[in-house]
Amino acid sequence: MTQTDKLSQRELLNRVKIDEKTINIFDYLYDGIILISEDSTMIYVNPAYARILGISPERLIGNKISSIEPNAKSLRVLENGKPIIDQRIYVETLKAEVRLTTLPLRSGEDIRGAITILTNIEWDKDRYVEVDYEKLVAEHLKDELSSKEPLPKEFNLLVGEDKEFRKALYRANRAARTDLPILVRGDSGTGKELLVQAIHRVSHRNRNPIIEVNCAAIPDTLLEAELFGYKKGAFTGAGRYGKRGLFEAANNGTIFLDEIGDISLSMQAKLLRVLQENEFKRLGGTEKIKVDVRVISATNKNLEELIRSGGFREDIYYRLNTISIHLPPLCERGNDIEWLIGHFFTIFNEKYQKKIEISEQALNLLKGYHWPGNVRELRNVIEYAMTMTDTDAVKCEHLPHYIMTDGKEHGVDIFSGLSHSSCINGKEGPFLQRMLDSVEAEAMKQAMERTRNKTEAIELLGMSRRAFYYKLKRYNLEENMSP
């Protein structure tokens, strides 16, 4: 293909918002993939499709699909926007029966084009492992296309541009428009509570309450009474009139069960009954109470490991985990630390009626720290530093002492420690940091080239896994290294 052809193809791909990373995935799929624009022009054909058809991709791209297949199913999908899923058809030009899936590519309500996934049934019979490529491709395209769309204002408090973080927000936005249970996962301080509140505000239940329950903060003996309520005299100390539970209070709204991994097995069994039947009995009561409640739960624990050790029921896990959303830790979010620092400076300047900035040395110090407390810790540090300074800039000496000192207990590696020392002494901090970053990046690159395996590279470098992935993004090495 000539350079001019490549340029025109790239322009056409931009029209359907498909990037080069997505195309690279298509190039290696066993099934045939063809992309067409809204005017039915073929803008991409993968090698497998060309092989099935027996024509080189260069002869197809830029032509109308009707020129090779007048009755192509994708033409109908462009017209009505309805997908065709896993249909067996006979293709005249191939003289063969195939399995075909065609999906519309949308941007909002507009149809930008269509993707067709084609499997030669004879080849399909010879596969050793059956892979649901249609699902893989459809999910990938949903993420890629939705990432181009603006999020509702309800998500404005969740700040950052990291790709995995943004994917979590787009997934949450889609999930918000359903009534399916959601499990939000992530370390403490990553913003799970903010995300759940945003989901509720976007949902059709937003006119009704969201009730938040910290399951770890309520003793198990009281949790049942809190969730389901109790009849008068149900237990010693019960109120004379009884009490309705939090599930009743959340009726037609949302109940948020935070720290769900901390509830006991017996409480899990009682909660499962509510999830399955949408009804329960108050403690000490006999009457069944029906509720319509959307359940969102959150945890920072490894529920799969708890299931294996017998600490969490598998049946309730699958009920709660219908839609899973993972918020990455701050140390894996690359440049988002700097984004968040600016965001919090704006918030606290307004709160305290100040016009404070941050010095370059203090900024480098904060960017080099690993933030075990995640976004919550960063917010607290920024507010503390801004209240400690009586000048127009936050400097290193205004930051908490534990961040300024090199300590492994706070997750600071030796490279960050050296830059901290230069920052404290006020001598060539940024220059030294750049030198150290260069050495560290080169060491990581060589370790990856030597081992060809990230786990082995981590062991060779002697770094923690969290620090390794943080540095991988920070130095933009991810795309240049094999997994």
Sequence-ordered alpha helix ranges (H) in 352-453: 360-368, 374-388, 401-404, 414-425, 429-451
Question: With 80 as the cut, is the pLDDT of residue 400 above it?
Answer: yes
DSSP string spanning 146-157?
HTTSPPPGGGTT
Place of tokens 């030294």: 432
The strand pair at 288-290 and 279-281 is best described as: antiparallel
Question: With 60 as the cut, is the pLDDT of residue 143 above it?
Answer: no
- The 3-state DSSP class for residue 216 equals coil
Work out the mean pLDDT of the chain and round it to a whole number. 79
> Is the pLDDT higher at 93 or at 274?
274
Q: Does residue 411 contact residue 425 with C-beta atoms inside 8 Å? A: no
Tokens of 132: 């649901």
What domains are defined for the chain? 3-146 (3.30.450.20), 153-326 (3.40.50.300), 331-479 (1.10.8.60)
Reported as a single tens digit per residue, the pLDDT across 11-48 is 656 665 666 667 767 776 767 888 888 888 888 888 87
Reported as a single tens digit per residue, the pLDDT across 80-96 is 888 888 788 776 666 66
Read off the amino acid at residue 415.
Answer: F
Rounded Cα–Cα distance for residues 199 and 213 (Å): 16
Reported as a single tens digit per residue, the pLDDT across 167-180 is 999 999 989 988 88
Q: What angle do CA 435, 405, 410 make, to 5 degrees?
A: 95
DSSP state of 340: H
pLDDT at residue 222, rounded to an integer: 87
Place of tokens 């060491």: 443
What pTM, to 2 d.p., does this model score? 0.57
Rounded Cα–Cα distance for residues 323 and 168 (Å): 11
